[in-house]
Amino acid sequence: MVAEQGTRRRLHFDFVGAVLWLVRILAILAVVVGAFVSLSSGRLSAAAWLNFVVIGIGQGAIYALIALGYTMVYGVLGFINFAHGEVFMSGAMVGAFAANSLAQAGMWNSNPVLSILIVLLIAMATSTLVALLLERVAYRRLRNAPRLIPLITSIGASFFIQYAFLGLFGSQTRTYPALSILDGFIRVAGINIRYADIMVIGSALVMMVGLYTFVERTKAGRALRAVAEDKEMAALMGVNVNRTIVLTFAVGGAMAGAAALLFGVVFRTVFFFSGFLFGIKAFTAAVLGGIGNIVGAMLGGLTLGIFESVGPSLVLTGLGIPSAHQLKDVVAFLALVLVLIFKPTGLLGERLSEERA
Amino acid sequence: MAQTTKTPTAARPADPAPMRRNFFDLVKAARWGLVGGATATFVSVIGMVSDFDGRTLIDPFLTLGYLVLFLVPFAFGYMAARPPLTLEGQDPARVGPRDVLAGAIAGLVTGLVLIVPTLLAVNFNLRSVFVNLSPAMADTLTLGQSLGAGLLLLAVVCLVAGAMGAGVNVVPARWRGPVMTGLLWVLTVGLLEDLATQLLRGLNLDALIGVFFAPGGGLKPLGAIIVFVLVFSLQLAFQRRPPRLKARYQALDQSERRRWTIILIAAAAVIVYLIPIVLGGFMSEILDLVGIYLLMALGLNIVIGFAGLLDLGYVAFFAVGAYMTAVLTSSGSPALSPELTFWAALPFVVLAAALSGVLVGTPVLRMRGDYLAIVTLGFGEIARILFLSDWFEPVFGGAQGITQIPSPSIGPIVINTPPQFFYPIIALVFIAAYISWALANSRIGRAWNAIREDEPIAEALGVNIVTAKLSAFVVGAALASFAGALFASKIGAVFPNSFSIVVSIIVLVIIIVGGMGNLAGVAVGALVIVGLPQLLREFDEYRFLLYGGLLIFMMLAKPEGIIPSRRRVAELHQEEMGQDAWLTAEPEPELDEARTTPATAKD
């Protein structure tokens, strides 16, 4: 994007460019100094740092699953579905009710695998339903509107869903019952890895491989890629564009539902506002990996998870900032800003049809 | 909804026969009814109907709860009977009794669907999941009757509401306007009873209150009829012979016109002076809040409406204004407390906000419009978290915030009551409005327009993008900091949680509902969006739900807002035409407002 600034500007002092360079240098300096001070102080052992990384990967896997929804919609329709965090939240919320009723029936701990599968299905179905409703009610008419209009719509939708859930289910936090088989950890090379993290990373991996195969190997996936590339041309080639767009939302919703269950099992509490921050962070992950790029979303999610879990402790504490854990969300937002300043196309590059990039 | 009014530019292969309404339309009506039923169920289960039941609009029969409930079959009856889109080369579809039947069917289906939640609420206790699915809701839905009779009555009323909604399509256009306006005014007066009685009391017309309003709240039927007839006949008269005040004013010669301008300004000044006196403390409090939001909305209007930069972190500047005021004036400020007076602090506050505008604006300058939105949202959250954090606690007080902010004073008069605060707020609003108006018609205003409409072309034509965008951010930030300063000194304290993301969203809703780029629209938007929920306390719980719904609705139906700016309509209209791109051979020129790269040619 910077390339087209033209030669006229070159002759003058490039104020924006200078500021951006300053930001870049400062960011690198902050990270290097913070990390150096932290590591050399020996405050935490190497195993403790690795532990942070593992926790970060677990969290990042959830971000990655949500990020898939952002990235797929962006790839196909070219706008940010701001309400996708709420799609995730709806799955987590309804999943909590299902999990609790299973726990009441005594199935949750006596038959954990089956009950997790049941709740997974319910969460995925809920999220898919919400995503499809969103598409039908809010976005379908705006297919060819300028990009900011669906964005504003999706902000409205985000608030609408949040407060609809508040009104329907109340403001109290809903808790997932504890799953006893996930307590405990295994020790690998001196670091403790919780079973919960193993489950999250494992299942996220399965979902992503599944999605990747779906998009790259199946006919519907090929249609999806074709629509992302050029809607009109795809239509001329006999692809049902409408159905493909619906499919995009459905798949994105299903992934968010799966993320919702993992989130519920690991973090165990959910309320109507849970989707907001998670949504923004997942979006950050999508941008980080290169929006529109499915592999990028996975990579971006994991990277952001690690940033967020290691960053405050490594960089901020190293710089002498008190209570660095309070600034976890600041790190995530700053990561977004820095990614967009350093490499707006993300780690793996955007996959958009040329006219949109 | 947008499709009703527009005719596609390209002639479709036209169907020579006029569109016939047939049996299929009735099935379609039933489908609308199902959607209506889902909506009505949602509205009931979320608790709106029973919560709003406490406010009577027209004394014995209509409460706000029932209005909301029966508005659903009314609206879907209207949708079911809406004539199909008339394409070029076709005769418009005829409307008739069959449409009313369609509306009635839609209404009936809506009513029948509503039986489900009622029976659920009566027979099961689901309140651990659906907190509002209570017997109280069932009572409201059965209209206070026994279950069987109540459900029957509900279905019948829904049917009638649906038929009435459909009737709107059938009534000739000449009568439709006055009737709808009349009904709307009756409902508005009933809704704003507190305001109306306060107004009458303030004007020493207490006697009229008894004529219009029932003692238990709500309009008397007689009052409702008077309001309706009054509005109906006025509207009808103006429809026949519009007064064309503006044209007449412009036709006056120079000196006449100047005299009238002075008279109008003087009258406006007197009215503004009288407003807080007539309205009293409570209403002034609401107006103060509206004013503060209006100030912010005017600022955001420059950033979004003029320059087209979707800034979602606007609350950050508001927070900077409030916190700077607190630090500079409060005696309780933790780190440095120079204890300046409000007016002495104001220049520094504005300076700080302008600096933060540059700080936020520069890194996002080259970002695409949608990235800019999310990044600014991030900045807004960063600002709040930083004000809240332990890191800055020595300066900003962390979660405890800063208290003991003194009230401003003008000469010997200390401004500390809501009616007194109205004057500085309205003064700053007028200044902000003047600034907006002056900027809109200046060189920089035209530069903003150009950037919003097409950035690459604007740049190619020599508009300095950097200066233009940064100045939009700076002016917007300055206006928000005014609002922040007033907010801080009015409340007397600042806490980080007053500056959450929802403030940004409320301001966004104001300018989108009101009409982006239009000052009158923004003012109306602030009154409706901020003032109304304050006046109607029961709305409080649902306001963000309604804001969200409003954003979606406005974007789908009327993206230019209720009082649009003319330029904006032209832009959006052109964009809507682009929706028929499938039919046209040539791709429409895309008016992507915030793109930073030149469009690569499609062919």
Question: pLDDT band at B354, cuts 50/70/90?
Answer: very high
Q: What is the DSSP letter of A220?
A: H
CB–CB of B544 and A159 under 8 A? yes
pLDDT at residue A5 is higher than 60: no
| Confidence at residue A13, expressed as pLDDT on a 0 to 100 scale | 66
| Contact with chain B for residue A157, Cβ under 8 A | yes
Residues facing A269 on adjacent strands: A175
Task: State the smallest CA–CA distance between residue A192 and chain B in angstroms.
Answer: 31
Nearest to A143 by CA among B555, B13, B7: B555
Can you tell me the ipTM of this complex? 0.84
CB–CB of B132 and A141 under 8 A? no
One-letter identity of residue B33? G
Q: Which residues of B touch A276 (CB under 8 A)?
A: 501
- Which of the listed ranges B88-97, B483-492, B568-577 does the model predict with the highest average pLDDT? B483-492
Contact A80, A151 (CB under 8 A): yes
CB–CB of A283 and B374 under 8 A? yes
Backbone phi, then psi, for A13, in 5-degree steps?
Answer: -75, 120
CB–CB of A163 and B370 under 8 A? no
| Contact with chain A for residue B34, Cβ under 8 A | no
All structural domains of chain B with their residue ranges: 20-170, 175-243, 280-571
**Minimal Cα distance from B359: which residue of A?**
A19
Q: Which residues of A touch B542 (CB under 8 A)?
A: 163, 167
Residues 6+ apart with CB under 8 A from A57: A197, A201, A302, A305, A306
| Contact with chain A for residue B596, Cβ under 8 A | yes
| Contact with chain A for residue B310, Cβ under 8 A | yes
| Contact with chain A for residue B383, Cβ under 8 A | no
Lowest-pLDDT range of A130-139, B94-103, B110-119:
B94-103
Nearest-by-Cβ selection for B363 from A147, A287, A337? A337
**Cα separation, B561 vs A2, whole angstroms:** 34
**Minimal Cα distance from B603: which residue of A?**
A355
Q: Which residues of A touch B379 (CB under 8 A)?
A: 333, 337
Residue B296, exposed/middle/buried by CB under 10 A (0-12, 13-18, 19+)? buried
**Cα separation, B213 vs B236, whole angstroms:** 26
Q: Which residues of B touch A153 (CB under 8 A)?
A: 551-552, 555-556
Lowest-pLDDT range of A179-183, A200-204, B104-108, B261-265:
A179-183
Helix, strand, coil % over all residues of chain B, rounded to 5:
70, 0, 25
HSE at residue B362, side-chain half, CA atoms within 13 A, is 15
Q: Which residues of A touch B578 (CB under 8 A)?
A: 144
**Cα separation, A157 vs A163, whole angstroms:** 10
**Cα separation, B101 vs A65, whole angstroms:** 49
| Confidence at residue A357, expressed as pLDDT on a 0 to 100 scale | 38
Distances (CA, A) of A84 to A65, A161, B213, B387, B447: 11, 10, 47, 28, 35
Q: Give the percent of chain B with pLDDT over 90.
A: 8
| Contact with chain B for residue A144, Cβ under 8 A | yes
CB–CB of A163 and B600 under 8 A? no
| Confidence at residue B569, expressed as pLDDT on a 0 to 100 scale | 65
- Which residue did the predictor score with more confidence, B34 or B219? B34
| Confidence at residue A157, expressed as pLDDT on a 0 to 100 scale | 92
**Cα separation, B351 vs B344, whole angstroms:** 12
Cα of B166 vs its chain's centroid, Å: 27
**Cα separation, A257 vs A79, whole angstroms:** 21
**Cα separation, B208 vs B404, whole angstroms:** 44
Nearest to B447 by CA among B299, B301, B308: B308
Distances (CA, A) of B570 to B269, B444, B520, B561, B574: 34, 21, 18, 13, 6
Report B:439-498 residues touching A (Cβ under 8 A): 456, 459, 466
- Which residue did the predictor score with more confidence, B218 or A210? A210
Q: Give the percent of chain B with pLDDT over 70.
A: 88
Residues 6+ apart with CB under 8 A from B382: A330, A333, A334, B316
**A contact test, residue of B34, B130, B374, B511 with most A CBs within 10 A:** B374
Q: How much is the CA Rg of chain B, to the nearest whole Å?
A: 27
Residues 6+ apart with CB under 8 A from B273: none
CB–CB of B582 and A153 under 8 A? no
| Contact with chain A for residue B387, Cβ under 8 A | no
| Contact with chain B for residue A155, Cβ under 8 A | yes
**Minimal Cα distance from A96: which residue of B?**
B129
| Contact with chain B for residue A307, Cβ under 8 A | no
E strands, chain A, are: 174-175, 185-188, 191-194, 269-270
| Confidence at residue B21, expressed as pLDDT on a 0 to 100 scale | 52
Q: What is the pLDDT of residues B99-153, one digit of tens each?
A: 788 888 888 888 888 888 888 888 887 777 888 788 888 888 888 778 888 888 8
**Cα separation, B345 vs A305, whole angstroms:** 43
**Residue recorded with tokens 């992950």:** A285
Apex A166 CA angle, A161 and A167, nearest 5 = 95
CB–CB of B545 and A321 under 8 A? no
Question: pLDDT band at B590, cuts 50/70/90?
Answer: very low
Report B:498-527 residues touching A (Cβ under 8 A): 501, 505, 508-509, 512
pLDDT at residue A87 is higher than 90: yes
- Mean pLDDT in residue range A180-201: 78
One-letter identity of residue B489? S
| Contact with chain B for residue A138, Cβ under 8 A | yes
| Confidence at residue B597, expressed as pLDDT on a 0 to 100 scale | 39
| Confidence at residue B174, expressed as pLDDT on a 0 to 100 scale | 79
Classify B401 as helix, strand or coil.
coil
Nearest to B462 by CA among B473, B447, B449, B440: B447
CB–CB of B593 and A162 under 8 A? no
Nearest-by-Cβ selection for A167 from B369, B545, B590? B545
pLDDT at residue B455 is higher than 70: yes
Report A:65-84 residues touching B (Cβ under 8 A): 79-80
Q: Which residues of A touch B130 (CB under 8 A)?
A: 168-169
- Cβ-Cβ contacts under 8 Å between A and B: the total is 185
Contact B507, B293 (CB under 8 A): yes
Q: Which residues of B touch A144 (CB under 8 A)?
A: 578-579, 581
CB–CB of B548 and A163 under 8 A? yes
| Contact with chain B for residue A90, Cβ under 8 A | no
Nearest to B361 by CA among A239, A5, A16: A16
**A contact test, residue of B129, B367, B372, B376 with most A CBs within 10 A:** B129
CB–CB of A152 and B551 under 8 A? yes
CB–CB of B374 and A336 under 8 A? yes
For B413, the enclosing helix (H) or strand (E) is strand B413-414
CB–CB of B545 and A163 under 8 A? yes
Report A:175-204 residues touching B (Cβ under 8 A): none
Distances (CA, A) of B421 to B426, B434, B530, B531: 9, 20, 17, 16
Q: What is the pLDDT of residues B525-577, one digit of tens each?
A: 898 888 888 888 778 788 888 889 888 988 888 777 777 766 666 666 554 54
Question: Would you state the structure tokens that stand for residue A68, as one six-digit string?
Answer: 């898939």
| Confidence at residue B462, expressed as pLDDT on a 0 to 100 scale | 85
- Mean pLDDT in residue range B497-508: 88
Q: Give the percent of chain A with pLDDT over 70.
A: 93
CB–CB of B600 and A333 under 8 A? no
| Contact with chain A for residue B547, Cβ under 8 A | yes
| Contact with chain A for residue B132, Cβ under 8 A | yes
Q: Which residues of A touch B549 (CB under 8 A)?
A: 156, 160
Residues 6+ apart with CB under 8 A from B9: B577, B580, B584
Q: Where are the alpha helices (DSSP H) in B515-565?
A: 519-526, 532-535, 543-557
Domains, chain A, with CATH or none = 58-342 (1.10.3470)
- What is the sign, positive or negative, of the torsion defined by CA atoms of B182, B184, B190, B195? negative
Nearest-by-Cβ selection for B596 from A1, A15, A334? A1
Give this prediction's pTM: 0.85
- Mean pLDDT in residue range B504-510: 90
Contact A71, A293 (CB under 8 A): yes
| Contact with chain B for residue A37, Cβ under 8 A | no
CB–CB of A147 and B371 under 8 A? no
CB–CB of A155 and B389 under 8 A? no
